[in-house]
Structure 1
């Protein structure tokens, strides 16, 4: 039996405020968020797996997308995020030309996508599946 396996591998990222992250991921986004014995968050994914979220005093937000949410209807998903208080236009049109809600249309070059940030400044996205 191999000592190294990927069987129980998981991803993780840092935040600067674990309580704000728990509220955002659990209440704002509606994910299943559990707190482990060490105070870390465990984001449980619907089809299995999890993501570790941990507080880091010198946290620096990820400048890349750390978590993608495929959706059937990006317009409805963005409207719902905005209604929940999430800002979905985080890039200028010079960086990524988008509509007034921040949706970048793939127009055959890729999926329609909109980015947003968690309270720690990490970048997340919804994209048309």
Structure 2
């Protein structure tokens, strides 16, 4: 390690994190996020849309010729009441994933998950997943304290 860079070893820890999600059709994605999720971009540039949510978080959709594999959660929202959020989004036409594999099962689209991310101080999470118009797998979760 270069001695001149020792003070910069935490350079990424000082930065903020923002999710980037691919969209094969940015207009279709914009409609989905507006009509189904109630979100409008706060900034727009050729090939990209920027969204802001609570807590100073943000994510962007960008035009991509690649398709999302949709095999893992690519972005998630922490919410206070996952059942209320699932109900509201279903009323808007969002379809939630149903999963039934050994050790993991959803009921009514919501899973009870033991354990949680260490920094959240919870004993588990109630969560649900859906796909956006571009095949990105998105989640909503409520910590169980």
* Structure 1 length-normalised TM: 0.80
Change (3 A) 1:82 1:9: closer
> Is the contact between residue 105 and residue 113 of structure 1 (CA under 8 Å) also seen in structure 2?
yes
Paired residues of 1:15 and 1:61 also in contact (CA < 8 A): no
Query: CA RMSD of the aligned region, Å?
Result: 2.5
SS at match of 2:83: helix
**Structure-2 residue corresponding to 1:41:** 49
1:20 aligned partner: 28
Alpha-carbon distance in structure 2 between the residues aligned to 1:47 and 1:107: 25
Structure 1 residue ranges without an equivalent (≥5): none
Higher relative strand content = 2
Q: Which portions of structure 1, spanning 4 or more consecutive aligned residues, are displaced by more than 4 angstroms?
A: none
- The question of 1:106 aligning with 2:108 is answered no
The answer on whether the counterparts of 2:67 and 2:135 sit within 8 Å (CA) in structure 1 is: no
Give unmatched runs, 5+ long, in structure 2: 1-7, 116-122
How far did 1:49 drift? 4.0
**Aligned twin of 1:94:** 101
User: How many residues are treated as equivalent by the alignment?
Assistant: 126
TM-score by length of 2: 0.72
The structure with the larger Rg is 2
Between the aligned partners of 1:87 and 1:105, the Cα distance in structure 2 is: 18
Which structure has the highest helix share of the two? 2
- Describe the shift of the 1:76–1:56 C-alpha distance in structure 2 as closer, same or farther (beyond 3 A): same
Q: Aligned partners of 1:49, 1:74: CA distance in 2, in Å?
A: 19
